[in-house]
């Protein structure tokens, strides 16, 4: 079992990280975490290389991520909510998934991505909505061929209480672990 985790938080020991840690403690198999704020991954520059050729013209840490996407069983997108959206740095990394869209749309190719399960964890202080961020995350999961997507797990009161004390969020993370591990 292989799980790919996109961590969109700038805070190494923040609320998003605490929920990711809880999940990884319960996951079976191996996992790879793409830390959007620390990864050696440049944003898409719209050079349109991927309109005509597989992959990306930018050679960086995303090459390893592309290979993992093709073979993993699960994908998690975890992010704080900034202005009702995933974090900007996570969107920078996600922009590099454009090559999968272009394979279908412009090159008329089927990707060699294995079907997988997906899930989303969102964390916020409670001032903004989560719908836009969740819609974006689900679109990205579908682009990576996640056919089954777990219901949203969120902690939306972190201005007042840490996510690590949010029983509903913790139960939701446990449910994602069961879903990814094939027990749900």
Q: In terms of Cα–Cα distance, which of 27, 142, 20 is closest to 80? A: 20
**Mind listing the pLDDT tens digit for each residue in 134-162?**
999 999 999 999 999 999 999 999 999 99
Q: For the whole model, what pTM was predicted?
A: 0.97
Question: Mean of the pLDDT values across residues 72-93?
Answer: 97
pLDDT above 70 covers a percentage of the chain that reads 99
Tell me what pLDDT residue 183 has: 81
CA distance 16 to 77: 10
CA distance 31 to 181: 12
Please determine, for residue 93, whether its predicted confidence score (pLDDT) is greater than 70. Answer: yes
Please determine, for residue 184, whether its predicted confidence score (pLDDT) is greater than 70. Answer: no
The CATH number for 57's domain is 3.40.50.360
Please determine, for residue 55, whether its predicted confidence score (pLDDT) is greater than 70. Answer: yes
Long-range contacts of residues 153-156, Cβ cutoff 8 Å, at least 24 apart: 153/19, 153/119, 153/120, 153/121, 153/122, 154/121, 154/122, 154/123, 154/124, 154/130, 155/15, 155/19, 155/122, 155/123, 155/124, 156/81, 156/122, 156/123, 156/124, 156/125, 156/126, 156/130
**Into how many domains does the chain fold?**
1
117 burial via Cβ count (<10 Å: 0-12, 13-18, 19+): buried
β-pairing verdict for 30-35 and 146-149: unpaired
- Domain range spanning residue 86? 2-181
Mean pLDDT of the chain: 96
Q: Are 141 and 90 in contact (CB under 8 A)?
A: no
Question: Mean of the pLDDT values across residues 7-31?
Answer: 98
Tell me what pLDDT residue 15 has: 97
Q: How confident is the model at residue 54 (pLDDT cuts 50, 70, 90)?
A: very high
**Mind listing the pLDDT tens digit for each residue in 129-140?**
899 999 999 999
């Amino acid at each position: 079992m292989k799980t790919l985790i996109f961590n969109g938080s700038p805070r190494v020991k923040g609320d998003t990280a605490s929920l990711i840690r809880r999940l990884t403690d319960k996951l079976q198999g191996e996992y790879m975490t793409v830390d959007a704020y620390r990864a050696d991954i440049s944003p898409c520059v719209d050079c349109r290389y991927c309109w005509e050729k597989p992959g990306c013209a930018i050679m960086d840490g995303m090459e390893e991520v592309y290979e993992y996407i093709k073979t993993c069983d699960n994908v998690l997108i975890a992010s704080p909510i900034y202005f009702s959206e995933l974090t900007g740095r996570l969107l920078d990394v996600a922009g590099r998934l454009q090559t999968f869209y272009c394979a279908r749309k412009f090159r008329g190719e089927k990707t060699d991505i294995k079907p997988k399960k997906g899930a989303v964890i969102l964390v916020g202080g409670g001032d903004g909505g989560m719908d836009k961020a969740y819609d974006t995350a689900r679109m990205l999961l579908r682009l990576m061929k996640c056919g089954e997507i777990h219901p949203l797990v969120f902690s939306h009161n972190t201005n007042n209480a840490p996510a690590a004390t949010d029983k509903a969020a913790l139960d939701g993370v446990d449910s994602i672990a069961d879903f990814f591990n094939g027990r749900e």
